[in-house]
Amino acid sequence: MALSRAHVASVRRHSPACRFVFTGLVERAGASSLSILPAGPESAVVRVERVHHGTQALQDQTGQAVTVLLTESLDTARGERCVFFTDPVLFGEAVGVRELARIEAPEDLDALHDLVVRVRREARLNDLRRHMTSADAVIHGRVVSVRRASDRAEPPASEHDPLWWIARIRVRRALKGRQRGEILVRFPSSRDIAWHRVPKLERGQEGIFILHRDGAEHGGAALAILHPDDFQLGDIDELREIADRA
């Protein structure tokens, strides 16, 4: 069964910006399943029936009662089914989420689920394409070795020091730039909050490397991995196609 234009428009508008999208059954309006969150007119307890997007921990919320902090009071009867576009904000004996948008659930939840997955994937690929466009070089390669940027044991310059390491990468194909043979690439080994999500390279890793020049050079490496998306695994042919369009 085809989705209505309104459903399609809502999914395209709201799902890319949300971290948790689910269909749920309203159990109690003006209520809370969290002891740290008082019940009020703009809260509701909703039983998660199907998760359309979320982390693994949120995927496990299927069948659980979550507390939704509503954008506006929920004037509905118990048992109404809605699609909630939300961000998780509280974790206690239950999960609390902040609603960004809400629509009436369609009859065909399979079609809705497929659309959310497709829209999220399209948004992700568009973000990746823009990121590649901003890079100084993009290569398909394999990590040959890794080492510290300096042989000298020096204390960190600050708590946010990246603690540079150097990866020697054998270039299989340059997708942006003219790199060939083996090149040196810096990456931060620090687990500090400023760097913990940036990839930590290891010998033998193969994929797409999105590289940047930040005006510095350490250990002979001017190109660096600086962002969480700078190392990509997956469908190499698809990633190459994205790079070709960047």
Measured CA to CA, the distance from residue 36 to residue 48 in angstroms comes to 20
- Residue 49: pLDDT band with limits 50, 70, 90: very high
SS3 content of the chain, % helix, strand, coil (to 5): 20, 40, 40
Both tokens of 108, joined, read 């065909």
Q: Residue 129: inside a domain, yes or no?
A: no
CB 167 within 8 A of CB 148: no
Q: Which domain holds residue 45?
A: 5-123
- Of the pLDDT bands very low, low, confident and very high (cuts 50, 70, 90), residue 182 is very high
Per the structure, the count of domains in the chain is: 2
Decide if 128 is inside a domain: no
- Flag whether pLDDT at 37 surpasses 90: no
Q: What are the pLDDT digits (tens) for 223-234?
A: 999 999 999 987
pLDDT for 172 beyond 60:
yes
Residue 80 and residue 43 in one domain: yes
On whether residue 158 sits in a domain, the answer given is yes
Q: Which of 99, 123, 147 is the last residue of a domain?
A: 123
CA–CA separation, 64 vs 149, rounded Å? 48
How confident is the model at residue 221, as a pLDDT?
A: 96
143 confidence band (pLDDT: 50, 70, 90): very high
**What CATH number should be reported for the domain holding residue 158?**
2.40.50.120
Q: What is the pLDDT of residues 81-137, one digit of tens each?
A: 999 999 999 988 899 999 999 999 999 999 999 999 999 999 999 999 999 999 999
Strands 231-232 and 164-176: unpaired
Question: Which of 123, 154, 183 finishes a domain?
Answer: 123
Answer yes or no: do 100 and 192 share one domain: no
Residue 12 inside a domain? The answer is yes
130 in a structural domain? no
Asked whether the predicted pLDDT for residue 202 surpasses 70, the reply is yes
| 218 in any annotated domain | yes
215 & 187 share domain: yes
Domain termination residue (choose one: 58, 89, 123): 123
